């Protein structure tokens, strides 16, 4: 029979664990689950709907959401699901294919929480980062890691080269695309964009678009300029 104390004291949480918990609680309500629908005509079955899944994040109380261009590329219908399971039809405000960026908007039925954009020019290799997204449809997933390298060049779709990317070992998988990469203060410093690995699975090498590049697109949008 067990003869130890009736109540065991846990060791308590370390400062890094507490930081992870605080950032997740603060940021996760602003991370959206994006379903993009494309209708394609097929020979045998007529019009068929194909759905792509991705992530995005709210950047202001007006309902504007940043994501990747490839998440909403070619879509006839974009639906946003927030963590409280409220669903919205979204309109596409701006597409930037070169930088794989898109700005979409929902009409909020309630007050929205949103994320602050940090400064990706100040990043250092080794600093902690946190990714929140919807890998394989598992919404609200948190992964953590560090900045593994800066200024990486990767090959994107259609043989495009994307330069100046952030490399991280925070686990990024299919469905994470468009979600935020956060620093330990909860500021967005990147947009999770690409995976390096077999069959689209994470092997500890993921890439994020520096948030300062998205700021340029947002400035262009406010000024009425198109990329």
Question: Quick check: is 22 catalytic?
Answer: no
Instruction: Tell me the pairing of strands 128-133 and 180-182.
Output: antiparallel
- What CA–CA distance (Å, rounded) separates 78 from 55? 12
> How far is it, in rounded angstroms, from Cα 176 to Cα 192?
6
Distance CA(101)–CA(65), nearest Å, equals 11
> Residues 6 or more apart from 151 whose CB is under 8 A from it?
163, 164, 165
- In Å, how far from its chain's centre is CA 55? 5
- Given a contact cutoff of 8 angstroms between Cβ atoms, the answer to whether 180 and 128 are in contact is no
100 is catalytic: yes
Residues 54 and 34: their CA atoms lie apart, in Å, by 5
Q: Which of 52, 96, 100, 183 is catalytic?
A: 100
Asked about 183 being catalytic, the answer comes back as: no
Strand boundaries in 99-140, DSSP class E: 101-105, 128-133
Task: Supply φ then ψ for residue 76, to 5 degrees.
Answer: -95, -15
Choosing from 36, 70, 171, 202, the catalytic residue is: 70
Nearest to 79 by CA among 140, 32, 29: 32
8 Å CB contact between 175 and 137: yes
Q: Which positions are catalytic?
A: 70, 100, 177
């Amino acid at each position: 029979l067990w003869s130890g104390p009736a109540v065991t004291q846990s060791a308590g949480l370390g400062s890094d664990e507490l930081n992870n918990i605080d950032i997740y609680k603060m940021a996760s309500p602003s991370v959206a689950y994006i379903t993009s629908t494309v209708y394609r005509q097929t020979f045998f079955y007529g019009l068929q709907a194909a759905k792509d899944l991705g992530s995005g994040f709210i950047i202001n109380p007006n309902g504007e959401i940043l994501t990747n261009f490839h998440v909403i590329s070619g879509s006839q219908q974009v639906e946003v699901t927030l963590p409280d399971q409220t669903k919205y039809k979204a309109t596409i405000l701006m597409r930037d294919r070169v930088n794989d960026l898109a700005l979409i908007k929902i009409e909020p039925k309630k007050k929205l929480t949103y994320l602050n954009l940090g400064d990706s020019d100040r990043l250092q290799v080794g600093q902690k980062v946190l990714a929140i997204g919807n890998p394989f449809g598992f919404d609200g997933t948190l992964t953590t890691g560090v900045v593994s390298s800066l200024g990486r060049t990767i090959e994107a779709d259609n043989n495009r080269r994307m330069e100046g990317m952030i490399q991280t070992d925070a686990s990024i998988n299919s469905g994470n695309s468009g979600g935020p990469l956060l620093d330990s203060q909860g500021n967005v410093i990147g947009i999770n964009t690409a995976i390096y690995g077999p069959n689209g699975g994470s092997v500890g090498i993921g890439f994020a678009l520096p948030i300062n590049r998205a700021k340029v697109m947002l400035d262009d949008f406010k000024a009425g300029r198109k990329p």
